Amino acid sequence: MCERSENKGVGRRDFLRLAAKGAGGMALVMVGGGHSLVSANAVREGGADRRGPMEYDPSSHRYLYVIDIDKCIGCGSCVRACERENDVPKHFFRTWIERYQVSRTGEVFVDSPNGGHDSFEPSETGADISKAFFVPKLCNHCDSTPCVQLCPVGASFVSPEGVVLVDDKRCIGCSYCVQGCPYGSRFIHPTTHTASKCTLCYHRLVRGETTACVQNCPTGARMLGDARSLGDKVAEIVATSKVHVLKPELHTEPKCFYVNASREVR
């Protein structure tokens, strides 16, 4: 099992002081694949530090993620950006793209060569295809998430902003959360042997930046919003447009919403 010290009641200032001294055995969670170290305790308690002139207040944010399927061209820019930003190992994915091809008789063909990392080559299905489209996928950051409920050591948790994260120092690599995620968004890292997943680039959020995938999408198919930000355009889309979530019958209450989703998407 991974060792960790308790350090209960450590405040934000104390955390920063300890971090400057090497943390002295304090449990740290790697958020963002090596680009930023954030205390797991600080995140849980709403004290994550913002690397900038303004203090980051988790209680004032509630992040939403929207994908407009009509705008996705399957270029793979998002997948490559995520890989670079979060040091995602080759052939593993925190976000990926699926191609759907639907025949006139209702047959559905889905493929995702290398997660859409290198875009998509033309393919032949042998069927009379009536429509085709791309569907980006990632962790749905559910409000009622099975992965957090199944974790036997409390390594999976939800931040005050509603972002589902993994404490790398608590995780024992049992893969219960991987098996329990209905969206296939988790994997066991081949080097750390701990659970890995999309963090919504949490290390960027606390600096007031958007996610790497959103920033690098050339068509604006991916959008990050904040339900607690007055006048937020993405939050307005969720509130006023016809949006869909994946596997609604599971009642996981995802915070990832799809616009213009065809009924074949699963």
| Angle value at C-alpha 167, between 202 and 184, nearest 5 degrees | 75
Tokens of 141: 């950051």
List of residues 6+ apart from 216 with CB closer than 8 A: 77, 78, 80, 81
Classify strands 63-68 and 256-259 as parallel, antiparallel or unpaired. Answer: parallel
Report the pLDDT value the prediction gives residue 29, as an integer from 0 to 100.
40
Q: How far apart are CA 189 and CA 92, in angstroms?
A: 8
- The CA–CA distances, whole Å, from 196 to 125, 144, 149, 173 equal 33, 19, 16, 10
pLDDT given at position 39: 54
* Token pair recorded at residue 185: 């968004």
**Given this model, what pLDDT does residue 63 score?**
98
Residues 6+ apart with CB under 8 A from 261: 69, 135, 244
pLDDT of residue 9: 39
Please give the model's pTM, rounded to 2 decimal places: 0.82
pLDDT given at position 247: 96
Give 10-residue mean pLDDT values along the chain (266 residues). 36 38 37 47 55 74 98 98 98 98 96 98 94 98 96 96 96 97 97 97 96 98 97 96 96 97 92
Buried b (16+ CB within 10 A) or exposed e, 163-182: bbbbbbbbbeebbbbbebbb
pLDDT of residue 10: 37
What pLDDT, on the 0 to 100 scale, is given for residue 172?
97
pLDDT at 45: 55
For the record, the structure tokens of 161 come out as: 């902003």
pLDDT at 1: 37
Q: Does domain 63-141+203-259 have CATH number 3.30.70.260?
A: no
Domain coordinates in residue numbering, the chain: 63-141+203-259
E strand or H helix at 98: strand 95-103
Q: Which of 38, 30, 41, 31 is nearest to 6 (CA)?
A: 41
